[in-house]
Structure 1
């Protein structure tokens, strides 16, 4: 029997014949597939030093893609035919953080080994996922440069809590995956870090730009100059976008919200600038807790960050 109006569960969304939504670009990866972008979800948030349900973010960001079309009015170009290969989400271990980190690194490595595309989006999760993810890219590509949008240094010591969402970049530095001079931190916010970690950043040669520096120099100029510098030193550049770099007014769904951060426009414009550079191959988006969000504001902003990375390069 056929039904006139009943559709499969979840498929009753209005469809305009002339409009393609960004989530329609999602294609479940199958062996042999090729596409422009590869995407993987790392739904881990048990390493967060504050209560967080960031493990739910990969699902909420995918859903938020349905809020936007594939057409860029600024560029007068429609990306409806772009294929976004979705590798799915990693099954994290229920109790062992070390096993979870291992699974995340293995899964990102397996995605890269398919060689199905040239550019990648990694959806966290808390910022702890950047340690295994960047480690996998380092193993695959070689010398790696990182631009980190963040209110915090994420250089905490490991003695007080092990590997947490506050330690990924210290872990990367101490494991030799990343050189200090190849790490750029933008958006470091006042009254949000300890002096010991600011001093550690200087000792390691990390290029740190506070919000005061951003106000003085301009975010896009900083990103342009640093990518030009890094491009001469590394084999690929990885963007790590901690959404708490954005002011709490524009990203209320972060575990560590605070005032004085980027506006949504500043973030999006800077991602467009970075994504246009040929050595920029990957991006992670972290630190969204959908349970704390308001009308999916933060997840929608993250989805728009994805669009800028995917479509504006």
Structure 2
């Protein structure tokens, strides 16, 4: 036994309670081979953002905020302490080449899902541009993929005016043939945040669009159930993409594109827990958190809670042990 009774590992909890397991403690370092039931990986890319963004710092910030929570859900009487979440680390971005960075994301995600075909995938962005390569890589595991996107914006911008930015991931997926527009469902699309041309593009390509008016007027559980029912008839797996700017600026001050009229955090968290209960939901990314402009880590904390809600839904339904 060490003689230094009052020294602790740097970065550990300031206070330790023998009866409490913090959420960050379920993360285990990857040995490069087989992972656990859940694979978590960071994609710290934000140079593709069309607005000022420090979202490349988000993976580390979100991991850190997991330490703010315990693993026990008092509402469901579920403890996540025994879940094995393998933290595969962060994908190394190219310092100057945006397209090369996106290719690295696609290649790495493909490798992860090939080596660990039965693991759930959690990707921490980065800005929303990472969803294009991440879903490309994920699709190597599944022939037909559906996407449920929580977002204030369509992210269907044209590629001619700026190339592959955080405003183009779903345009890129559709036009590359990676994703059928009929298999994309958008929830939380907001007034005065999009152009008519991109709403029309979405409709012409079969995208299902739930605006914030729909979210206000209908129970979110109903929208989730309706979305799942539509996709499960046509796809092999569903990938959930959570752009944190779907939240109202009051709930997500650390998003590059904040604005009023968005979703409240309870509604988003309820939706994510519900989605976790479906076995066909195999992956989720969380994007557009900029810790450099956040206030008291509000947005990073909510993003960490999104992870916990997703895992709670999975455990509640028996998809993970």
TM-score, with length taken from structure 2: 0.95
1:150 and 1:17 mapped to 2: Cα distance? 40
Q: Which runs of no fewer than 5 residues in structure 1 stay unpaired? A: none
1:95 and 1:310 mapped to 2: Cα distance? 35
For residues 53-68 of structure 1, the aligned pairs below 5 Å read 53-68=54-69
2:8 and 2:76 mapped to 1: Cα distance? 35
1:283 and 1:53 mapped to 2: Cα distance? 21
Displacement over 3 Å in runs of 4+: 31-34
Aligned to 2:159: 158
For residues 299-310 of structure 1, the aligned pairs below 5 Å read 299-310=300-311
Structure 1 position 212, deviation (Å)? 1.1
Aligned to 1:126: 127
User: What secondary structure is seen at the aligned counterpart in 2 of 1:141?
Assistant: coil
Q: Could you tell which deviates more after superposition, 166-175 or 2-11?
A: 2-11
Structure 1 position 117, deviation (Å)? 4.4
Structure 1 position 13, deviation (Å)? 2.5
Q: Could you tell which deviates more after superposition, 59-68 or 137-146?
A: 137-146
Q: Which runs of no fewer than 5 residues in structure 2 stay unpaired? A: 315-321
- Would the alpha carbon gap of residues 12 and 225 (structure 1) be closer, same or farther in structure 2, given more than 3 Å must change? closer
* Residues 70 and 80 in structure 1, CA contact (< 8 A), matched pair in contact too: yes
Structure 1 position 284, deviation (Å)? 0.2
1:90 and 1:53 mapped to 2: Cα distance? 16
1:136 and 1:117 mapped to 2: Cα distance? 15
TM-score, with length taken from structure 1: 0.98
For residues 194-209 of structure 1, the aligned pairs below 5 Å read 194-209=195-210
Structure 1 position 305, deviation (Å)? 0.3
1:101 and 1:230 mapped to 2: Cα distance? 27
* Residues 45 and 126 in structure 1, CA contact (< 8 A), matched pair in contact too: yes
* Residues 185 and 206 in structure 1, CA contact (< 8 A), matched pair in contact too: yes
2:113 and 2:99 mapped to 1: Cα distance? 21
Structure 1 position 218, deviation (Å)? 2.5
Report the count of equivalent residues. Answer: 313
For residues 223-262 of structure 1, the aligned pairs below 5 Å read 223-262=224-263
CA offsets 1:256-313 (integer angstroms, 9 cap, x no match)? 0001111000000001111111100000000000011000000000000000111222
2:204 and 2:83 mapped to 1: Cα distance? 43
1:169 and 1:302 mapped to 2: Cα distance? 21
CA offsets 1:126-170 (integer angstroms, 9 cap, x no match)? 000000000111121110000000000000001110000000000
Structure 1 position 34, deviation (Å)? 3.7
Q: Could you tell which deviates more after superposition, 4-13 or 134-143?
A: 4-13
2:303 and 2:189 mapped to 1: Cα distance? 19
User: What secondary structure is seen at the aligned counterpart in 2 of 1:284?
Assistant: strand
User: What secondary structure is seen at the aligned counterpart in 2 of 1:87?
Assistant: strand
Aligned to 1:79: 80
* Residues 189 and 209 in structure 2, CA contact (< 8 A), matched pair in contact too: yes
